[in-house]
Structures are given as structure tokens and as C-alpha cells.
Amino acid sequence: MKLAAVGLTLITGLGATAVTVAAQEKATKAVRRPGVTGDWVGTWGVYTPPAAGAEGEAPKKSPYPQMRLDCKVAETKDGKWQATFEGECGRPYKYTIQMLGRGAGDVVMFQGTADLGEKDGGVYDWIGRATDKEFVGFYTSEKYTGTFRLARPAPAVAAPTK
């Protein structure tokens, strides 16, 4: 009887340890998020889907070229982030917007709404997804719909010394 009690205590203790270790591993994984803060570079462009009824036709080349986009992301608090986007749209621009972000596995999912003013298309809604290496998104406003794709900038190459 004593042997059975010792065996049950040992098994119960090992089971509790396994549950505790599993809970600690799960908590550690939940805390890990990709490093999305810092500098990003890439392009943005207007999306021009085929006209209604034109399904099956080859997509037409967009009349709008892809434009350079630089971004700097900072985490503020409570799932909030701040992004400063800078680039060209026929003239230079720079906007700092607030975003909501939530971890989902190995990515951060972002969403936001920003009023860029009447001359830049008004109010935009957008969603994005960032890993530690890539930040992609989709935006829409009353006048425009488009996408952006960003990556980490290439490391600066040091000038050769003589």
C-alpha cells in the first residue's frame, strides 16, 4: 500500500511538473514578438483591379508607378504603435500615425485610420502585417486603394580605409 502511495505521489508530482513546464513554455512563447520597431524601406502603389465584368482578362499595367516609402515604427504602450511614413507622391510627404497592433504567432497585425488631409486623399483605413523582416499592408480611402511592401534596410557598407 505504501509503495502504491509513493508511486502515485511520484506520478502526480511528475505530471504537475510537466504541466508547469508546459505553462511556462506557453507563457514564454506568448511574450515573444517579432522585432517590428525601427527602420523600414520599400514601396507603395495604387491598386487598380480589373473593371467589373473583366474577370478572366489579363490584368492591365497600373498607370501609377510604385513609389519609394520609408517608415520608422516605435511601440508606445497598450498595444499601440506609432509609424512615421515618408516618401514621394509627386512631392515629398511625411506623416506620423497611430496604429493598433496585436501579436498573432510570429507576426504583429496592425490596423489604423488616419486623416491625411483633403489634398492627400482624406481619411484612410489600412491593415498591415509585420514580421521581423517584412511589413506589408493594404490601404483604402474615398479616392484611393493600394498596397505597400517594406523590408529592413540593407546594412550600410563602410567606406574602404587607406
Instruction: Kindly report, residue by residue over 61-102, the tens digit of the pLDDT.
Output: 667 789 999 999 999 988 899 999 999 888 899 999 999 999
Q: Given its phi and psi angles, is residue 65 left (phi above 0), alpha (psi -120 to 50 degrees) or beta?
A: beta
Residue 94 CB coordination number (10 Å): 9
* Residue 1's pLDDT band (cuts 50, 70, 90): low
pTM: 0.71
Q: Which three cell numbers stand for residue 73?
A: 515604427
Q: Please indicate whether residue 131 or residue 159 has the higher confidence score (pLDDT).
A: 131
User: What's the rounded Cα separation, in Å, for the pair 124 and 14?
Assistant: 55
